[in-house]
Structure 1
């Protein structure tokens, strides 16, 4: 159960920023004994994986804070974030259950699918909300929202690794936020089509 919660938290974090949970897991596995990656996932803590991850994170942090460019980046990340969510869910679950054979370790595809779905849902909410934020703030909100998302991704990653039980609360808050943003997006789009529409 704790392994699943850790994987859920990490994959949700990947939906906000694909490279933060990847790099945190890679660095923790590389320099501590807190995470031991099993066979098939050791490459995550290799020099080249960490180097590429760091370079991509730098590009993501910069591009995601530029209006319009952030939307293009989100479109590209549609393929990357869910994939990273699936990878990191599977890796963390396999690492947590290294010494115990469970249905998740015996069926690793389940972890991958769950990671892809969770990360994809979070990414979809982020991608739908960003154009609305940009239009409503004339682009000024992009760097602010992006910084909050990066901070949330890092915080969720730490929670998933250190206190997985709190992932339940964090995911509930994230789900509420995504639903709220979705409703705001619908209201904004309806207002644009019909200026006389009164959301109240």
Structure 2
């Protein structure tokens, strides 16, 4: 069986929450529920570190504007995690060159990260904090669901991840005016604070 659908799906999910992906893959592998997960992701020290980082993300991601700063930092982290997970999965299966797998995982993670970050900027323009918490919770549950589904039904999960990626890109284009408004306000605030 080709590991490419699992790499694509884990790349998409890494762009949303890389720590959840590594944590779930590692836990499922350590529990013996799948043979697809490399031993390096199942190590106890790796699981402890990504578990702690997952908890940090779970909190930071629900606070308006803190989530935007967190996303900015993770513009490098999430695609890199997607690339590393993809390469590790390919190396474990031996069915796809690791460099190509890293490119698939990393580029998919980058696009889904940009969708997430763009959507969050638009949500942050809303005056109430509830939408942020709801969106973050939906993202976490979506990542968990798609990663678990991908371990048992990789092709179907990859199709779903692909549809979510296309829908996300379309949503960001639709929300572009809100994002531009957010950025203009932020620029004005900086100008006022620098001048005053």
**Which of 71, 74, 77 is the equivalent residue of 2:71?**
74
| Correspondent of 1:141 among 126, 131, 140 | 131
Q: 1:86 aligns with which of 83, 103, 108?
A: 83
Name structure 2 gaps, 5 residues minimum: 185-196
Query: How many residues end up aligned between the 2 structures?
Result: 183
Q: Which residue of 1 is the match for residue 50 of structure 2?
A: 53
TM superposition score normalised by structure 2 = 0.84
1:36 is displaced (CA, Å) by: 5.5
Q: What's the counterpart of residue 10 of structure 2?
A: 10
Query: In structure 2, do the counterparts of structure 1 residues 159 and 67 end up closer, same or farther at CA, with 3 Å as the change threshold?
Result: same
For residue 111 of structure 1, the aligned residue among 101, 105, 108 is 101
Q: CA deviation at 1:189?
A: 5.0
Describe how 1:1-200 pairs up with structure 2 within 5 A. 2-32=2-32, 34-35=34-35, 37=37, 41-95=38-92, 97-98=93-94, 102=95, 104=96, 107-189=97-179
- Report the aligned-residue RMSD: 2.1
Gaps (5+ residues) in structure 1? 194-200
Instruction: Using the TM superposition, give the Cα deviation of residue 34 of structure 1 relative to its aligned residue in structure 2, in angstroms.
Output: 1.8
**After the TM superposition, which parts of structure 1 deviate over 6 Å for at least 4 consecutive aligned residues?**
190-193
CA spacing shift, 1:161–1:33, aligned 2, 3 Å: closer
Partner-residue secondary structure (3-state), 1:17: helix
Q: Counterpart of 2:126 in 1: which secondary structure? A: helix
Deviations 1:58-116 (A, max 9, x none): 00001100001000100111111111111111222233x25xxx4x2xx3111111111
- TM-score w.r.t. the length of structure 1 is 0.83
Cα separation, 2, equivalents of 1:115 and 1:169: 15
The CA distance in 2 between the partners of 1:177 and 1:147, in whole Å, is: 18
Quickly say closer, same or farther: Cα 1:33–1:143, change in 2 above 3 A: closer
The answer to which of 42-51 and 59-68 deviates more is: 42-51
